[in-house]
Structures are given as structure tokens and as C-alpha cells.
Amino acid sequence: MKENKVHNDSEYFLAAWSEGKISAEELKKYVSKEDFKAYMELEKGIHLYEKLEAPLDRSFQKIQEKIKYKSKARVRKLYVNWFTSIAASIVLFVGLYSLLGNNTVLLNTGTGEHKNVALLDGSEVILNSKSEISYNKRTWKKEREVTLKGEAYFKVQKGSTFTVKTINGSVTVLGTQFNVISRDNFFEVVCYEGKVSVKNNISSVILLPGNSVRVLNGEIIEDHQVKEQSPSWILGESTFKSIPLKYVINALENQYNVHFDRSLIDESVIYTGSFNNKNLEIALATVFKATNIKYKMTTANIILLENN
């Protein structure tokens, strides 16, 4: 009877061993030494296989638990971040307001208008028509810097570096008198007294009294000598020397409230001369008689230009 039972178990002894019903010691009885060794290795391998291939659901559940537990702890951190970002943006707003909102001084002139401006250090700026300067009150003591669009004549008091910034380049001086024009892509600096350094993103030039420099389409051209003590436009006259007609016409438009139809003329003609800033008729006559161009007032403030 007993023998029979052993026999029953032994028929599928490997299944019984795998299930743990018979021990490794007992298994020895059924198999050769070599097989036994192999089965022991196999058992280890299967054990590892079980672990490696274990169903994923439990692992995933555990991960979810860990994430839940962690996210509870993270709430506070998020809260702190909120606070810091609010604080940071308040600081930023206050900073921006004090930098831009309050301290920038902006001055401009309309068509045909001139304006005399005294800066904080006693320097003097005369703005030609349709021009604009701005500077920062707060940083003025540290660095004297103004931004210019258009044309202006500067009489700078001696002191620290004085910079005029324009989109076409910058002018740096210590204390002198000079004139700057920066309109569209035309840039001209004339030095009347002292020493002036002119820089654009390509090169830089130092001007002595009576020198001038001109930048046309990004190229620096050292230019004519100037004999006057101050620019002529201050005295009511605009003077030009070897400038494409285009810029002379632009200047007329800036000075008087008129527009020109230039479609029928060649604007690249070089012009030297001046025009009156007070009387449009005289100004038109001086410019266009000299260049042999007919002008005719058509509709409101539009003047048609035509070759003779």
C-alpha cells in the first residue's frame, strides 16, 4: 500500500518536486547525479524567471501608491512656488515702472517747429523740426545719454562722457558742440567745437572742429569741411552739401507741412545749397530752380515734381 503511494508520487516526481511535495533530497533518489545538478540549476533559473516575468499589475499598483503619497507632499512646494512667482512679478512690475514709466523724459517737435531744451547738467539741445529726444532722469547722473530721432544741435557742458544714441550709430563726446542728423538711413554728424567720436556697428571715426561725417546706407563717408560756427538751420536756413536730392526733399517735408510726388524725377541727383525755413515759396524756388525741376501744387499740400 505504502509502496504504491510512493510509486504514485514518483510517476511525475518532477511535478511533485516542483510543487514542493518532495524535497531535493528525495529527488536525488529518482535522478542521476548529473541530472540532479542540472535540476538544481534549473530551479534557480525558473525562480529568477518567475521574478523577471512576474505579472505587472502589482508593481504598477505600488507605483501608483508611491506617486499618490509623493504628490501629497509636493502640494506645499507648489504653493511656495506660487508665492515666489507672485513676489517676483510684483518686484518686476515695480522695477519696470520706476525704470520706464516714471523716469524717461521725452521731447519732440512737429513740422516746422524748433525747440530749445536744457538738460539736467546745463547742456543745451536745439531740436530741429520733426525730431525727438529722450533720456532717463534716474540714470542721468551716472551716464549722460540721450536717444535721438531726427536732427538736433548739441552744446554739451564739460563733464563725463556724453552719448547720443541713434538707430544709425552713436556719438560720444566729453564736452563740445555738434550737430546730429539721423533720419531713416541717413546719418550725419558735424563737429563745431571740441572732439567727437562717431560709431556705428561697422566702424568709428573721431571728428575735429570743422569736420563732418556722413553715413549713407551703413557706409561711413568722411566729408566736407564746415566753416560756420553753428548749423545754419538754427538761423532759419537749411544748408546741404553734396547730398542726394532725396534727403533735401525729405528735409523740406519735415520743415513745411507738405508732401512731394517724386515719381517723375531722379532723386539721386547730388545737391549743394540751402533753403529758407520760413517761406515755402522761396525755399521751393531755391531748391528746384537750381536742379531744373518744375513744381506744381496739386491738391492739399501735395506738390508734383516734374523734370523740365
Partner 1 sequence: MSKDLNNICNPTIFEKVFRTYSKDLKRFLYFRFGDMESCEDIMQDTFVKLWDNCSSVNYNKVKSYLFTVGNNLFLNIKKHEKIVREHQQLKVNDSTYESPEFLLLEKEFQLKLEKAIAALSERQREVFLLNKIEKKKYKEIAEMLGLSVKAVEKRMHGALKELRNKIGNI
Among residues 13, 114, 244, 253, the one that binds partner 1 under rule CB under 8 A: 13
63 contacts partner 1 (rule: CB under 8 A): yes
CA–CA gap between residue 61 and residue 55 (Å, rounded): 11
Sorted by sequence, the CB contacts under 8 Å of residue 222 that are 6+ apart come out as: 205, 211, 213
Residue matched to cell numbers 533559473: 45
Phi and psi at 127, nearest 5°, equal: -90, 130
Nearest CA among 255, 170, 186, 220 for reference residue 178:
170
CA–CA gap between residue 177 and residue 156 (Å, rounded): 6
Residue 177: beta bridge partners? 155, 193
54 contacts partner 1 (rule: CB under 8 A): yes
At residue 295, the 3 state secondary structure works out as: strand
Among residues 29, 49, 100, 218, the one that binds partner 1 under rule CB under 8 A: 49
Among residues 16, 107, 117, 304, the one that binds partner 1 under rule CB under 8 A: 16
Grid cell in block for residue 176? 563740445
Instruction: Give whichever of 4 and 225 is closer to partner 1, judged by the CB atom.
Output: 4
Instruction: Give whichever of 3 and 11 is closer to partner 1, judged by the CB atom.
Output: 11
Among residues 62, 138, 278, 296, the one that binds partner 1 under rule CB under 8 A: 62
- Minimum Å gap between C-beta 56 and partner 1 is 6
Instruction: Give whichever of 18 and 230 is closer to partner 1, judged by the CB atom.
Output: 18
CA–CA gap between residue 214 and residue 218 (Å, rounded): 10
Q: Which stretch binds partner 1 (CB under 8 A): 32-40, 80-88, 251-259, 265-273?
A: 32-40
Q: Which stretch binds partner 1 (CB under 8 A): 12-20, 114-122, 187-195, 265-273?
A: 12-20
Nearest CA among 121, 134, 106 for reference residue 174:
121
Instruction: Give whichever of 42 and 107 is closer to partner 1, judged by the CB atom.
Output: 42
Among residues 25, 53, 76, 83, the one that binds partner 1 under rule CB under 8 A: 53
Sorted by sequence, the CB contacts under 8 Å of residue 120 that are 6+ apart come out as: 137, 140
Among residues 6, 24, 29, 67, the one that binds partner 1 under rule CB under 8 A: 67
Question: Residues in the site for partner 1, rule: CB under 8 A?
Answer: 11-16, 18-19, 34-35, 37-39, 41-42, 45-46, 48-56, 59-60, 62-63, 66-67, 70
